Amino acid sequence: MLHRCTEPRQKARLIFCLSLVLSAVSLRSKANDENAVGFSALCEAYNAATGTITAERYTGNSAAPTIPSDVTHLFVATADDELFANKTYWEYSASEEDWTQAKTELTNHKDEKGNQKINRPEQSALKKEVHKQLGDIRKQAQAAAENLRKATNDIETDLAQARMALAQAAIGADELRDAKQNDFEAHAAMCTGTGTHGPGKTITADLVCLCSGATNGANICGTGIGSTKYTNTADDAANALQAWTDIKSHCKRASADTKTAKETTAAAITSALANFQSALGKGVTTGINAQTNLETGQQPALARSLRPHA
């Protein structure tokens, strides 16, 4: 049975509304792998936000709902002789063309040997009663088909909103695409929460801030994961985009046009949210440089990003 599914939209809003908030600490002196825990959590969130959402998961692969043809054939076959001969039959359709087509389809409804599958019975009280009952069945089938069409349209609408919310979470745009230079800004603004594209605004910006640094930037989020192209000294949007290019391949599905991207489901989003929440306040816990790297932050801009977004 098909149910209206709003869950994809609700889960999509969650991933945006909870905002993947980063701390406003400086990234200039981080040790290797220090932000690996946060990187893993944010990457899972990015992958969930950039995967495909297929309507078939919620609507099935069936064709557009229609009244079963056998119901229509039987209804037409049991029509009163006078009504059958008319050019129109209001109980079926007000259209002359529709009624003519229905009668033609009944005539052409034959088995593999060319024999008529359904013959019109002789006039009788039983025929009249059967026709009435078939009319009721046809109306019920028609209503069911219309309800199914409406439910399918509702699901498509919900999924479109889910895709938009996830694209907003991933990149800050209404449609999923890869990052552009104007999705970033100066390091001093973006990575402290004072800019338009700061922590908690998009997962892409979060990853760039988390995995960029000076001396240790190349390995800040794991072995070979990170960038030294976006720092407090090389801090413009162009540098941030270069850093994103270095970082995104390590998320496996970072690019919006990846043909092998997995499907995004409510379960995938729930898992990403749970793992992100689990990573809050945690970092690499071994060595003298162990720190927490994902936290809610105390600056007003970061606190504001915890509020639900419209």
pTM over the 0.75 mark: no
d(CA 279, CA 29): 21
CA 94, 100, 106, 110 dihedral sign is: negative
> SS3 of 78, please?
coil
Give the bridge partners for 110, in sequence order. Answer: 116
Give the bridge partners for 116, in sequence order. Answer: 110
In which residue are the tokens 């792998």 written? Answer: 33
pLDDT of residue 224: 86
- Residues in the chain, total: 310
Element (H, E) at 55: none
106-150 tens-digit pLDDT: 999 999 999 999 999 999 999 999 999 999 999 999 898 899 889
For the ranges 154-158, 212-216, 253-257, which has the lowest average pLDDT? 253-257
What is the average pLDDT value for the chain, to the nearest integer?
76
For the ranges 126-135, 287-296, 297-306, which has the lowest average pLDDT? 297-306
Closest CA to 235 of 184, 199, 197: 184
Residue 302: φ, ψ to 5°? -75, -40
Q: How is 279-295 classified by DSSP, letter by letter?
A: HTT----SSTT------
Helix (H) and strand (E) counts in the chain: 12, 0
226-281 tens-digit pLDDT: 888 888 877 889 999 999 988 888 886 433 444 445 788 888 888 888 888 777 76
10-63 tens-digit pLDDT: 444 444 433 333 322 223 334 456 788 888 888 888 988 988 888 888 887 766
% residues pLDDT > 70 (the chain): 75
Q: What is the DSSP letter of 28?
A: T
More confident residue, 98 or 19: 98
Closest CA to 22 of 211, 173, 250, 182: 211
pLDDT of residue 281: 63
- Six-digit token string for 125: 């009280």
Q: How is 36-66 classified by DSSP, letter by letter?
A: HHHHHHHHHHHHHHHSB--THHHH-SPPPP-
pLDDT of residue 6: 41
Would you state the torsion angle of the CA atoms of residues 33, 302, 244, 231, taken in this order, to the nearest 10 degrees? -70
- Six-digit token string for 35: 């932000």
pLDDT of residue 14: 43
Give me the residue spans of the domains in the chain.
7-54+173-304, 69-168
